[in-house]
Every structure is written in structure tokens, then in C-alpha cells.
Amino acid sequence: MGSAQQLHLGVALDGAGQHPAAWRVSDVRPSALFTAAHYLAHAKLAEAASLDFVTLDDTLALQPGGEEVVRGRLDALLTFAAIAPVTSGIGLVPTVTTTHTEPFHISTAVASLDFASRGRAGVLAVPSRTEAEVAHFGRRTLPSEVDAEAENAEVVDVIARLWDSWEDGAIIRDEPTGRFIDREKLHYVDFEGRFFSIKGPSITPRPPQGHPVVAVYGDSPYAHGADVVLVDEIRGARERFPDAKLLAGLSIVLAETEQAAIERRRALEAYAPFPPGPSFTGTPADLATELPRLAESNSLDGFHIRPAVLPDDLALFTAETVPALQAAGAFRQTYTGATLRDHLGLGVAVNQYAEA
Amino acid sequence: MPKQVKLAAHFPGVNNTTVWSDPHSGSQIDFSSFEHLARTAERGKFDFLFLAEGLRLREHAGKILDSDVVGRPNTTTVLAALSAVTTRLGLAGTLSSTFNEPYEVARQVASIDHLSGGRAAWNVVTSPDAWTGRNFRRGGFLKREDRYRRAEEFLATVRELWDSWAPDAVVGDKENGVFARGIERFVHSGPQFDIRGEFTVPRTPQGQPIVIQAGDSDEGREFAAKTADVIFSRHGSLESGKEFFADVKRRLPAYGREPGELLIMPAATFVLGDTEEDAHEQAREIRYQQVRPATAIQFLEQVWSRDLSAYDADGPLPEIDPDPDAEPLTWGRVRHEKDPLAVAAKWRAIAEEKKLSIRELVIEVTARQQFVGTARQVAESIDEYVQSDAADGFVLVPHLTPGGLDAFVDDVVPRLQERGVFRTDYTGDTLREHLFSR
């Protein structure tokens, strides 16, 4: 990999930023976190900088903590659906919890996000790990960590089968024979896994990307098979995921001088400790120097940027870090394709049921 | 002021009422189709747009049905996306209480209510069938008699969740570091659900999103009378509509509710022509396109549970009787026939009396309420139904996707407005305001 390696950049749009006290220092109105406008404004910032995608965290339980942290959130996939028609370039990768939600619903919902965004959908598939979520569904027991991860892998497998269960071009509208579809191009998936079985086919035709982009966190022993792996621990990550687009999570606190950035960080830490995981505190220009270096020395494909405070750190990142990366030839000048798969260079998704 | 007409638009998705062979028939999948219908309905100041739900593709004689429109996107995803391209239109979706859990449905509908600024509605349905359940990990088979028991407890649980955040819980006091206060724990323990914890979505703009119920059985009517805001019915004709209307409204006082608190909105189709004759001619052609020979035979096979493919759709009904013990041939469609032999006898009598072929009979017995005529006649007719208490309004089902509502909005809505029975502009922001404010 030379210095001209093109980075891939995703941005987390969770709450008012990654830091638990972000909502206290941000100009964002706290109630705005429950509106589409908040997510649209930040997605537009990311889109104007031609970033690959935005993510939105989710769980089927209230965030832990007390009165002093952001609590409550809307369904992440529906929130991104609500900005899909009014954005045009940015990839949309909501978290979907796979332990309690039916895989059939996940498959059609992500496919439908792909239709509404015209090929910009992804999904961050995450198993549920809490007793609180089990209690919200009732009459179940918390699966072991390993089983939850294995079931997550099964869900990732079956949702792609369901996307493929309609071949492209299955809708034929053939008047002479009176056939709306060619049923030879529809397939029962007949999936029998360890955790569930599904008949298929999907009710939703194959989405524009064929396979919307599937992302997982790299802390899972079953993360193989995803298109994108998000890791916090970068050492040894490339060996564990040789084929995936490997993006390292990085929280950022930016300011025009390093001293000012350190002061911003201290001000946040006066309220609460900084969240665990890798972070960068400094100037946008220094970050632009740091990212290609980090990527090269660890064979990373890019970064999952987690702004400490929204919009502040995202605004500085897009206004200054991204142009510096572009000047260094490390990031695209503008979108060169229309779909999220195009942005990530993933190529055409092969349909596992179609005859070659 | 005369009684005001309520109007909703159904997205003409799957099945044989959608005329896919028409040159104006567009995609039933692409988002642009949903956007077109939603924008048209909003231009016409409609109360809401309505999406049905499908969870398994229909099959006939062991094969996926290929003669009618097949395939649709996920309901909640489409509604959330539509919130971006509309500002006032209500967004109503069908979500099964069998293949979802209360926490999820409560969360999805509440999320859409927030994202749309108070325009969400949920049409509560149940599905009793293990055939559909094969697409779901928890199977979901439900005995017929348990359907409304589960639906009722499901809805009550969803409402407990919607109510669990105090209206002013999101304090957002940056100075003192209080983001939210007053998130109540919910505890629901009943025969269907045992769940407890905290909901993740603040109280929504409507407080409680609108609840719609579709069902015609005695239990269905009672369920709606007890708890729904809107009931869909299939009682389209003036006389049966009046009877249904009176019956349902009569049930309301037992639950401490006023007649105006439950709106009755039957599904109806419409055909507009320059003249009455022109409209009737078009309506006849549309019916023949909806019921092609293969569709007619398949419809009959649904009751007969026999292979009738050797019969001519333009010929008389089969001499042989239905097989009352056979497995159904058709799956994925609501079956109304409890006694196939009686249905066959009734249909034979109709066919004999009116001298109908198989296809003509199917056209006759599958007819829904249809407003046919000039725009003026259709407006008059709708008004008459509403003023005479056969309905509070209608859920209009166009036969073309996505442009099937255009002419109605351009030509019929202005005439309803001239008559003073339909709003000329929205007077509120939320669906609840559209439906219930005077």
C-alpha cells in the first residue's frame, strides 16, 4: 500500500456525540435527538464531504446510566429511512439488533432502506447482550455470548439468502402468457440453522445493491462473512479479517490548536470519563496526517470516526481534515459511484441462486 | 355544517385488483411510486395513506402465484421514508401482532410518529396461520379463538409502553445535567405477554398514535368498539354499510365512548369517466383485466380445492362439487368460505339466474364497493353515503400504481370541497387532528 491509498470513512451519528456529556456542551437541542432533522443535518455534513457512510447505534433497551446521560432513542433503521429520500450520496448503516427481531423482518427492512435510498443501505448487525432486552420480550433466557454471536452470524447469512431469493429481472409483466413474474427466478431459501428455520422467498424483490452492505463489530468470533468489520483493537485485526473492509473506530476531539483540543477534552471529562476505545485529540490537520499513517501501518481500509460532540467535531472533520486528506491523495474528491457498494469498492454482489 | 368526509388512500400493491397490464402501470416496489401516491394524497388533503402487509408470497397448487402483482417492500420502512417527502399526510401501516413483539411494534410506530411529527397509525391484524409462520423463527401459530385475545393484549401492552414516558420527560437541562426524568418502568403480566422494563422512545407527538382495526366478525367489531380509532370494513353498499355502521356505533357506549370516537371507513374503488356511460364501460374493462381467465379458475379452485384447470373460464361452472376435506390449494389469501359446498351452491344459483360464465361469476362475487361515474356523480355518491351514516369516509383503492389517485384528487376532491363536506386545507398537523378535530 502506497501513500495514495484511498481511505474509507464512516461516521457515527449517535446522540449528541460519542461523549456521554456531549449533549451538555453541544448547540443541539436535547429534544432534537428525537427528530429526523437532527440526523438529516449531520448526514448532509458527511455527504457534502463525500464520506462513505454514517452509522446510528441502537439497542432494544434504554441506554444505561442516570439522568445525566442521553436516554431514549428512535429505531435506527427507521430514522435512516426518514432521511433516505432527501439525501443522495451518503451510505446509511443503521444498527439492527439480531437476537430478538425476526430475520425475515430485518431482511425486508434493509432491502426497503436500499430501495428508499436508491442503493445506499447497509446494516450493522449486532446481537443483544443484556438481560434488560430479554425482559422486554419476556419468557426467554439470555443466550450465552457465544450463542448470541453464532445466531448473529446465522442472521447475516439468511438475510443475504432472502435478498437473493428473487433474482434480478424476476418481474417480467409478460402479457402474452399472463405472467407478472417468472417464478423460476424466485427461490425458496429453505434455511435450516441452529437457531431458526425460514422458508422464503422474501416478499421484497432483490434490492438495488443486490446485497446491501453488511457490517459487524470485530469483537465477534463469527465476524467473518461481513463486508465491513469495525474494530476497536487494531493490532492483529488484519490477520483475523483478511478479506473484509477493515475500519478502525476512532473517537475524535478537534480544535484549531492542540492545546484548545486538550482543553475541550478536559471540559468533557469534567462531566464524565471519556468513553473507552481509541481516540484522537488534536488539530484537524494533525488528524489528517495521522489517519493514513495508522491505516498503512496496520493494513486498515479506513476509519469509523466517532465525533465526541455533534456537530462540532464532525464539522471540523469535514471542513478541514477531509480536504487535507484529499490534498494528500488519501481520500476521494467526490463520489465516483452512486451506491454504498461503489463507495466501498465492493463490486457487484453475486446472487447465490442465479445460474451462472 | 354537514358531516365531513374522511379519506384515505390505499397503495395498490399486490394482488389481482392491481391492473399490471395497463400501459400506465408502474413499479409497485420503487420508492418513487410510494412517493407519487403520497404526494398526490397530500395534495388532495387526505387524512392518511395506508399500506397493507404481506409476510409470505401467495401460492396456488404448490407454486408461487405468478399471474398477479407479487412483491412489496417492508411497511414501516416505507412509511418512515414517506415522512421525509410529506408534511401533513397521515401514515398508516399494517403490522401483524402474531409475527412481531409488542416492544418492537410500540417502538416502530412511536418512532414513525416522532419522525413524521405526529402522523403515524397502526393497523392491528392477527394471523392464525402456521403457513406464514414458516418465515418466522417463533413460528407464530395461533388458534383462531386466540386471535383477538392476543391482539387485545398486544395492543394494551403497546399502549402501556407508549404511556410509560411522562409527556415532559425529556427535560434537557444542560446547566444541571438532567437529560430525562420520569421514565416509568412498565410491568405487564398477562396470559400472552410477561414483559417488564423501560421503553426507549419518549412520548410521541400524538401521545398515542392512531389505531386502526380491520375485522368483520363479532369479536372484531367488539375489539374495534372497545379500543380502535378507525375501523376498516368491507361493507360498501349503502344498505349493508348503514347496518354495519349502526351496529358498531351501538357498541361504543358500553366502553364509555362517543359515536364520533370510532370512524368507519370501508374500502372502495372508483372509476371516473367523462360521461356516466364512459365510466361504466371503463369499469367493465377494468374488471375483465383484474379477473383474467387464469385468475378466475384459480379463484374457483380456492373454494373447490380441486384442480379445475381443464375448465374454460368462459364456460359454465363445474358440475363436480368442492372437496370439503381437501387441503386448501391457495395460500396467503384471506378465506371467507367456511362451508365450500354451500358457497358452490350459492354461486351456481347466481350463475344460473344471471346466465354467467365462470369468469363473469367471479367478477360478480368479488365486486367491492365501487363508485362509478363522472367526477360530480362520484362526489355526490360519496357524500350521500357519509351523510346517511353508511360510512364516515372511505379508504380508496385505485387499480393503478402509482397514478391511480391523480384524477380523483384533481376532479372529485374539488367537488367534495364545493359541497362543503371536505377540508380545503389541513387545519392541524397531526393525524389525530385530521381525524377528530371539529
ipTM of the complex: 0.97
Check whether A190 is labelled as a binding-site residue.
no
CA distance B362 to B7: 28
The torsion angles phi and psi of A260, rounded to 5 degrees, stand at -65, -35
As a dihedral over the C-alpha atoms of residue B247, residue B248, residue B251, residue B255, rounded to 10 degrees, the angle is -170
Contact assignment for B81 to A36 by CB distance below 8 Å = no
CB contact at 8 A, B179 and B172: yes
Residue/partner pairs of A31-35 with CB below 8 Å, 24 or more apart: A31/B170, A31/B172, A33/A70, A33/A72, A33/A73, A34/A72, A34/A73, A34/A74, A34/B114, A34/B170, A34/B201, A34/B202, A35/B114, A35/B115
Q: Which of B233, B237, B208 is nearest to B220 (CA)?
A: B233
Among A302, A128, A109, A89, smallest CA distance to A212 is for A109
Q: Which residues pair with B271 in a beta bridge?
A: B372
What pairing do the DSSP bridges indicate for beta strands B186-189 and B194-197?
Answer: antiparallel
Average pLDDT over residues A214-236: 89
Q: How far, rounded to the nearest angstrom, does the alpha carbon of residue B211 sit from its chain's CA centroid?
A: 12
Query: Does residue A262 have a pLDDT over 70?
Result: yes
User: Whole-angstrom Cα distance, residue B285 to residue B67?
Assistant: 18
What's the rounded Cα separation, in Å, for the pair B296 and B288? 10
Cis peptide before A207 (omega within 30 of 0): no
What's residue A280's pLDDT? 98
CB of B170 within 8 Å of any CB in chain A?
Answer: yes
Residue ranges, comma separated, of all CATH 3.20.20.30 domains in chain B are 6-273+374-436
Exposed / middle / buried, residue A2 (Cβ in 10 Å: 0-12, 13-18, 19+): exposed
Among the partner-chain residues A82, A139, A201, the one whose CB lies closest to the CB of B80 is A82
Beta bridge partners, A171, equal A181
B interface test, pick of A71, A175, A192 with most B CB neighbours within 10 Å:
A71
User: Residue A60 and residue B200: Cβ atoms within 8 Å?
Assistant: yes
> Nearest Cα to A105, choosing from A35, A155, A177?
A155
pTM: 0.96
Task: Closest CB to B195: pick one of A72, A102, A137.
Answer: A137
Percentage of chain A exceeding pLDDT 70: 99
Contacts of B64 in chain A (CB under 8 A): 181, 183, 186, 201
Collapse the DSSP code of B223 into the 3-class scheme (helix H, G, I; strand E, B; otherwise coil) and give the result: helix
Residue of B nearest to A82 (CA): B81
User: Are A237 and A220 contacting, i.e. CB atoms less than 8 angstroms apart?
Assistant: no
Alpha-carbon distance B342 to B339, whole Å?
Answer: 6
A316 contacts A284 by C-beta, under 8 angstroms = yes
Q: Nearest-CA distance from B304 to chain A in Å? A: 23
Closest residue to A139, CB basis, from B29, B108, B194: B194
Asked if pLDDT for residue A344 goes beyond 60, the answer is yes
Angle B147-162/B218-227 helices, nearest 10 degrees? 10
Question: Which of B81, B138, B197 faces A82 most closely, judged by CB atoms?
Answer: B81
Judge contact between A80 and A39, C-beta under 8 A.
Answer: yes
The H or E element containing residue B210 is strand B210-214
Angle at B116 between CA B6 and CA A11, to 5 degrees: 160
Q: Which three cell numbers stand for residue A222?
A: 463469527
Residue in A323, A347, A345 with CA at minimum distance from that of residue A334: A323
Taking a C-beta distance cutoff of 8 angstroms, is the pair A191, A120 a contact?
Answer: no
How many CA atoms lie less than 13 Å away from B239 in the CB half-sphere?
Answer: 0
Helices (H), chain A: 22-25, 36-48, 76-81, 103-116, 131-137, 145-164, 237-240, 258-269, 284-298, 312-316, 322-327, 340-344
C-alpha cell recorded at residue B350: 347466481
**A312 Cβ contact list (under 8 Å, min separation 6):** A17, A26, A254
Pairing of strands B63-64, B59-60: antiparallel
Mean pLDDT (whole number) for A105-109: 98
**Phi and psi, residue B284, nearest 5°:** -65, -45
CATH of A13-344, one of 3.40.630.10, 3.20.20.30, 3.40.640.10, 3.50.50.60: 3.20.20.30
A201 cis-preceded (ω within 30 degrees of 0) = yes
Amino acid identity, residue B230?
V
**Which residue from B minimizes the CA distance to A179?**
B67
Q: How far apart are CA A84 and CA B73, in angstroms?
A: 15
User: Which residues in chain A touch residue B114, judged by CB atoms under 8 angstroms apart?
Assistant: 34-35, 74
Q: Under a CB-based contact definition with an 8 Å cutoff, are residues A26 and A351 in contact?
A: no
Outline where B15-139 has alpha helix (H).
31-43, 75-82, 102-115, 130-133
Q: Do B170 and A84 touch (CB under 8 A)?
A: no
Q: What is the mean pLDDT of residues A247-262?
A: 98
User: C-alpha B108: how far from its chain's center?
Assistant: 19
One of 3.40.50.360, 3.40.50.720, 3.20.20.30, 3.30.365.10 is the CATH number of B6-273+374-436, namely 3.20.20.30
CB nearest A200 (choices: B101, B135, B200) = B135
Say how far apart CA B191 and CA B169 lie, in whole Å: 31
Place of cell 442472521: A155
| Grid-cell match 397531526, residue found | B430
CA B289 from centroid of its chain's CA atoms? 22
Coil, strand or helix at B220: helix
The answer to whether B283 touches B408, Cβ cutoff 8 Å, is no
Rounded-to-integer distance, Cα B155 and Cα B229, Å: 12
Q: Is B432 on the interface with A (CB under 8 A)?
A: no
Using an 8 Å Cβ cutoff, are A254 and A321 in contact?
A: yes
Residue B134 touches partner A, C-beta closer than 8 Å? yes
The minimum CA-CA distance between B122 and chain A, rounded to whole Å, is 15
- Phi, psi for B110 (deg, rounded to 5): -65, -35
- Whole-number Å distance between alpha carbons of B247 and B250: 5
Tell me the backbone φ, ψ of residue B160, rounded to 5 degrees.
-60, -40
CA distance B377 to B416: 11
The pLDDT assigned to B337 comes to 58
Compute the distance between CA of residue A16 and CA of residue B125 in angstroms, rounded to an integer: 37
Contacts of B105 (CB under 8 A, 6+ apart): B95, B97, B122, B154, B158
- What does DSSP say about strands A302-307 and A279-282: parallel, antiparallel, or unpaired? unpaired
Q: How far is A26 from chain B (nearest CA, A)?
A: 9
Strands B370-373 and B194-197, sheet pairing:
unpaired
Average pLDDT over all residues of chain A: 95
Mean pLDDT along residues A187-215: 96
- CA atoms of B340 and A19, how far apart (whole Å): 65
For residue B264, what is its C-alpha cell? 368507519
Mutation to test the B interface, candidates A56, A90, A96, A104, most B Cβ within 10 Å: A104
What pLDDT shows up at residue A2?
Answer: 39
- Please tell me the predicted confidence (pLDDT) of residue A169: 94
- Measured CA to CA, the distance from residue B128 to residue B144 in angstroms comes to 6
Alpha carbon distance A211, A156 (integer Å): 11
Distance, CA of B118 to CA of B431 (rounded, Å):
7
Amino acid found at A163:
W
Q: Per residue of chain B (438 residues), what is the pLDDT tens digit? A: 899 999 999 999 888 889 999 999 999 999 999 999 999 999 999 999 999 988 899 888 889 999 999 999 999 999 999 999 999 999 999 999 888 999 999 999 999 999 999 999 999 988 767 788 888 876 656 677 777 888 899 999 999 999 999 999 999 999 999 999 989 999 999 998 999 999 999 999 999 999 999 878 888 899 999 999 999 988 778 999 999 999 999 999 999 999 999 999 999 999 999 999 999 999 999 999 999 998 999 889 988 989 999 999 999 999 999 988 887 777 766 555 578 899 999 999 999 999 999 999 999 998 888 999 999 999 999 999 999 999 999 999 999 999 999 999 999 999 999 999 999 999 999 999 999 986
